[in-house]
Structure 1
């Protein structure tokens, strides 16, 4: 167990999904987090967006978020199916690089049925 003084602070990695077509948050979307280990991906965490379309702290708070390449995957198929809508992208993987231990990162996703955009937020 990592001592609390050395573990990832709450909110080290957060995500937010906004539905561009409605202008509303996207609640109930499963989001997974993986870390690249050589040529493989290792599961780190998963969660569902809250009523505001957010996961405020996706990275486990009892572990340090170490530098490396990570991937957040937004599982959008079930969300659109629950809205009785078709979509082109069943899931949206976003790869990113962590350069400092416990670097505070935010990954927003602007979503529509047939497109999306994302960026490094704050």
Structure 2
């Protein structure tokens, strides 16, 4: 029983630490492979903001191998402002590494920021021939 309590306490602290890290950054993403039921590590994610002349790249990072997360995708040296943003999940290389064909070599997800005081979390549920995304919390 003590082992279970210790494990639960450790998981709670780990979750709190992850939230604390993400709390300072307005944007996070999480990718889960629904075919395997596991997090999708190593997926490159590109963040862009729409401008009058097109899309401006702000940052790029890879999801963590063990969790499938990027907890701080927005660049720390820039102001988070209202506007239209896009995260593109570059999934082709992920499936290539598994020897799996995919219909979606990349998945662009545009979203609107209206309140810069809020945190924006974008989960992606992924399989070779389909995906789903939503605004998480």
With the length of structure 1 as denominator, give the TM-score of the two structures.
0.90
Structure with more relative contact order (C-alpha pairs < 8 Å, separation 6 or more): 1
CA distance in 2, matches of 1:79, 1:86: 10
Higher deviation after alignment, 74-83 or 100-109: 100-109
For each residue in 1:5-58, what CA deviation from the matched residue of structure 2 results, as whole angstroms up to 9, or x when unmatched?
A: xxxx63310000000001000000000000000240000101000021000000
Report the aligned-residue RMSD.
1.1
How many residue pairs get aligned? The number is: 114
Matching residue of 1:21:
35
Select 1:60's aligned residue among 75, 80, 93.
75
Q: Distance in 1 between matches of 2:70 and 2:119?
A: 14
**Which position in structure 1 is the counterpart of 2:105?**
90
Higher strand share: 1
* Unpaired runs of at least 5, structure 2: 1-22
**Greater helix fraction, Structure 1 or Structure 2:** 2
Contact 1:33 1:44 in 2 (8 A): yes
Alignment of 1:1-122 (within 5 A): 10-51=24-65, 52-122=67-137
Unaligned runs of 5+ in 1: 1-8
